[in-house]
Amino acid sequence: MTAPQAAPGDNAHAAPTTAPQTWAERARAELQRAGYRRGGAREQLIDLLARERCALTIQEMAARLQDAYRRGANPRPVGIASVYRGIELLAELALVARVDVGDGIARYERASVENSDQDRDHHHHHHFICDRCGLLMPFDDQALEQAIVALEDRVGFSVSGHEVLLHGACSDCRDARR
């Protein structure tokens, strides 16, 4: 993925906005700042991700956009390639985070701004995956975050993000096994 030749309305040096934004607003602003245009597929993808709380697969995203098209909510179909391309771009700009739960299928969800509350949708979390039924469950834990922040200073690298994944059996599956 290569960035466009130039950013026509490049406002990178404008005074930063401090008012809280939604994730979608921030995403559109950063895309524009980086010189990208607003295509139909990209816009629809942003709206879709903005609506979701937790991670979706590419197939799920494509299916939902396809449904919206059939339902008449969207003017034209969105090809799966555009979903891949859109996600790739959003991931590069760190606007979405990839989540791998171990089944070999990539999932993505909107990323929160680290150490900031500028984002009204902010909802940093991690995941629990049920290895029996595949249930994906988000959770957050303040003590864990603190341990990770402390750790980040100790490792000799520049840490830009982190993920924690818990494996196990959800309550239904735990009961079912008996």
Partner DNA sequence: TTTACTGCAAATTATTTGCACGGTT
Partner DNA sequence: AACCGTGCAAATAATTTGCAGTAAA
Using CB under 8 A as the binding rule, whether residue 153 contacts its own copies is answered as no
The least distance separating DNA from the CB of residue 47, rounded to whole angstroms, comes to: 12
Long-range contacts of 17-24 (CB under 8 A, 24+ apart): 18/118, 20/117, 20/118, 20/119, 20/120, 21/118, 21/119, 21/120, 22/50, 22/119, 22/120, 22/121, 23/49, 23/50, 23/95, 23/110, 23/119, 23/120, 23/121, 24/49, 24/50
- The residues that touch DNA, with contacts defined as CB under 7 A, are 4-5, 8-9, 32, 36-43, 57-59, 76-82, 84-86, 88, 104-106
Of 63 and 169, the one with the shorter C-beta distance to DNA is: 63
What residue type is 10 in one-letter code?
Answer: D
Using CB under 8 A as the binding rule, whether residue 102 contacts its own copies is answered as yes
β-partners of residue 130 are 168
How does DSSP classify residue 17? P
Of 37 and 154, the one with the shorter C-beta distance to DNA is: 37
Using CB under 8 A as the binding rule, whether residue 69 contacts its own copies is answered as no
Choose among its own copies, DNA, none what residue 18 binds, the Cβ cut-off being 5 to 8 Å by kind.
none
Choose among DNA, its own copies, none what residue 41 binds, the Cβ cut-off being 5 to 8 Å by kind.
DNA
Of 7, 54, 63, 106, which lies in the binding site for its own copies, with binding defined by CB under 8 A?
106
CA–CA dist 15, 31 (Å, integer): 17
Please report, as ranges, the residues that interact with its own copies according to CB under 8 A.
Answer: 98, 100, 102, 104, 106, 128, 130-131, 137, 139, 141, 143-144, 146-148, 150-152, 154-171, 174
